[in-house]
Amino acid sequence: MVLVIGAGLAGTEAAWQIAAAGVPVKLVEMRPVRPSPAHHTGEFAELVCSNSFGALSADRAAGLLQEELRRLGSVVIGTADAHAVPAGGALAVDRARFSAALTAALEAHPLITVERREQEHLPDPGEIAVLATGPLTAEALADDLRRFTGREACHFFDAASPIVEGEGIDLSVAFRASRYDKGDADYINCPMDREQYLAFRTALLRAEKAELKDFEQESAQFFEGCLPIEELARRGEDTLRYGPLKPIGLWDPRWGDLHDRDVRRAKRAYAVVQLRQEDRDGRLWNLVGFQTNLKWGEQQRVLRMIPGLENASFVRFGVMHRNTFLESPELLEPTLQFRSRPSLLAAGQITGTEGYAAAVAGGWLAGTNAARLARGLEPLRLPDTTMAGALLAFISDAGRGTKGGFQPMPPSFGLMPELPSRVREKRARYGAYRDRALADLEPFRGSSDRSAERDADRIADHAAAPSAARLLQAR
């Protein structure tokens, strides 16, 4: 039997892949017996921050990683596809239905035994195990991990965005559109003029922040890809306008003819706040890019300054928490085995990958290799020419350390080996990376197409309860 510690995205994927290989699994998850600072439920694979896995198109880094995982038979990506909600060119899900479906499916699997308890120590050296405790690893296990590795854990601060009820959004002010009209009008957009924007930024700067429990405010280190909205505001007057409030490509037809230059100059918004659909029914909407550490009362006051959200009803306020990750380049092989203990593997955000799909990729490889070890087979290493292989090679390569030390890394075409010949045009270049990656992945697919179909059928049998109700209960 293989032990999997943690039932987040990586642990869920790892447990399923091990069981799919015919190997029994013990899946240990501390929630809800012991809650975490960021989770709201006890469901497996709960999405704590955004409900989006990123761009769908395979000529984008996140989209290519998703497509690779589909071809490898990922149960998490397959379930995300089954519970997708409109999000323009992105894969976003009804997070409650998504997590509930995975939870029900794993709990019903005959080879998976679920134990709801805290794992306080690493397993014995002879036991095959996957460590997938994520960035919020509990103190006792984190201490044992530090003793085992002989290294202090790295950390940074992460934050989640607020969610509001759709009924409270004033659509006489806000409008539906996708940027540059790509796809359907899947986002709700709240436009600001210059005066409104400057007042909003001033309010953000003056709002009272929640006290950080682990470190003093001035020593907090943020992950650059997920900065709190108030931190962005602090960095400059226009930082928000060139970030999550970027108005480019968004137009309300009520303003007039977009192609009329005079109308466009007079009516174009100075900044725009976007909201993305959170659940299948469109009752819940999250503020895109609005992760924050403001006190909850301050969030309600400041965010209601956004045009169209004056009467917004908040289902969830933004929260901030410490994320912990390993010095993976010094500790892990590209197979995700610990160099000093090959029977122990790690996966997910604790390894220093960033993003949902990246966590799933780590879970797929760690689970696949744990099952192979249990069956007496050699572990796999994915080709560096694939997005998954390149990302996992990066986190396990000590020679790639940056001057500022090892930091979390999302999927990126910059991680992949250069193409044999130069392709100047960016979209064509990314398309060439995609084609090479998917071709090089083919030998690793095996019977994953058939297993993915069986997995999809099994997951479909575990339809979740209404997502809005679950999130409302979690308030």
Structural domains of the chain ordered from first start: 2-156+323-473 (3.50.50.60), 163-318 (2.40.30)
Q: Is the pLDDT of residue 145 over 80?
A: yes
Q: In what order do the strands lie in the sheet with 52-55?
A: 52-55, 90-93, 84-85
* Strands in 160-300 per DSSP E: 163-165, 175-177, 187-192, 271-277, 284-287
pTM: 0.71
> Model confidence over 98-122: pLDDT tens digits?
999 999 999 999 999 999 999 989 9
Dihedral (C-alpha) 287, 243, 198, 50: value to the nearest 10 degrees?
Answer: 10
Per-residue tokens: 50: 């955004």
pLDDT of residue 449: 41
pLDDT of residue 137: 79
Q: Confirm if 283 and 166 have CB atoms less than 8 A apart.
A: yes
The DSSP code sequence of 347-413 is -SGGGTB-SHHHHHHHHHHHHHHHHHHHTT-PPP---TTSHHHHHHHHHT-GGG--TT----B---G
pLDDT of residue 202: 97
> Model confidence over 219-253: pLDDT tens digits?
345 555 567 899 899 999 999 999 999 999 899 98
pLDDT of residue 465: 37
Confidence grade of residue 152 (pLDDT, cut at 50, 70, 90): low
> Model confidence over 362-372: pLDDT tens digits?
999 999 999 99
pLDDT of residue 377: 96
Q: Is the pLDDT of residue 412 over 90?
A: no
Q: Confirm if 83 and 76 have CB atoms less than 8 A apart.
A: no
Q: Confirm if 360 and 10 have CB atoms less than 8 A apart.
A: yes
Percent of residues in the chain assigned helix, strand, coil, to nearest 5: 40, 15, 45
Q: Is the pLDDT of residue 65 over 80?
A: yes
List helix spans (H) across 90-244. Answer: 95-108, 139-149, 194-206, 229-234
pLDDT of residue 157: 62
157: β partners: 222, 322
Helix (H, G, I), strand (E, B) or coil at 313: coil
Helix axes 61-71, 356-374, angle to 10 degrees: 30
Task: Determine the average pLDDT of the residues in 305-331.
Answer: 85
